[in-house]
Amino acid sequence: MTFEGSGSLSRFNALSEFEAVALLRPLVNIPSWAKTVSDGRPYASVEDVLRRAEAACENWQPEDITQALSAHPRIGERASGASKEAQLSRGEQATLNISQQAVIDALHDGNLRYEQRFGRVFLIRAKGRSSEEILDNLQRRLQNSPDAEDQETAQQLKEITLLRLKEIFPL
Ligand SMILES: NC(=O)NC1=NC(=O)NC1=O
């Protein structure tokens, strides 16, 4: 559900807590984040929603990130299933248009190497990035220390989440 036009904020403010959390939960699989954003209502502006949402990302703990990653398919591999998260992932990755089999193979191999090294899926904000750029980031991040990679992963999850939120509230 997205809210078109100026009435979007008032309709969001008017939702029950249950409805607001249900709208926010598919954006990132961290329940406390959806609750924090819902609890901030009524908002005076969409900017206020985004500011609160961004601040709520700063509270994410490593276990939150691990839980959230379970909702993200490997980059370059089509998200299966009918869930809202899968639908969002498909949309974000649709722009990848990875036609070259070589890139698909390189992403697949890089994902596996990344998972062996860091023990979790490689997460990157796909929107606005070419598959080559994603591959470059994957190769670079494979050299990161665990701490540096934890920080980059959290930042990418935040970018994905806030992009998804903006899609609910066309600015
Ligand atoms: N493993 C991933 O990076 N997944 C994703 N990146 C996005 O931008 N959407 C995803 O589902």
pLDDT digits (tens, 9 = 90+) for 105-164: 999 999 999 999 999 999 999 999 988 999 999 999 999 999 999 999 999 999 999 999
| Angle of the 31-39 helix axis to the 17-24 helix axis, nearest 10 | 130
For the chain, how many helices (H) and strands (E)? 9, 0
Q: Is the CB of 125 under 6 A from ligand 1?
A: yes
Q: What percent of the chain has pLDDT over 90?
A: 69
Distance 160 CA to ligand 1 centre (A): 8
CATH number for the segment(s) 8-168 = 1.10.3330.10
45 CB-contact burial (10 Å; exposed 0-12 / middle 13-18 / buried 19+): exposed
| C-alpha to C-alpha distance for 125 and 115, rounded to whole angstroms | 17
Distance 75 CA to ligand 1 centre (A): 6
Q: Please tell me the pTM assigned to this model.
A: 0.91
Domain residue limits, the chain: 8-168
Q: What is the ipTM of this complex?
A: 0.98
Give the pLDDT confidence score for residue 151 in this predicted structure.
96
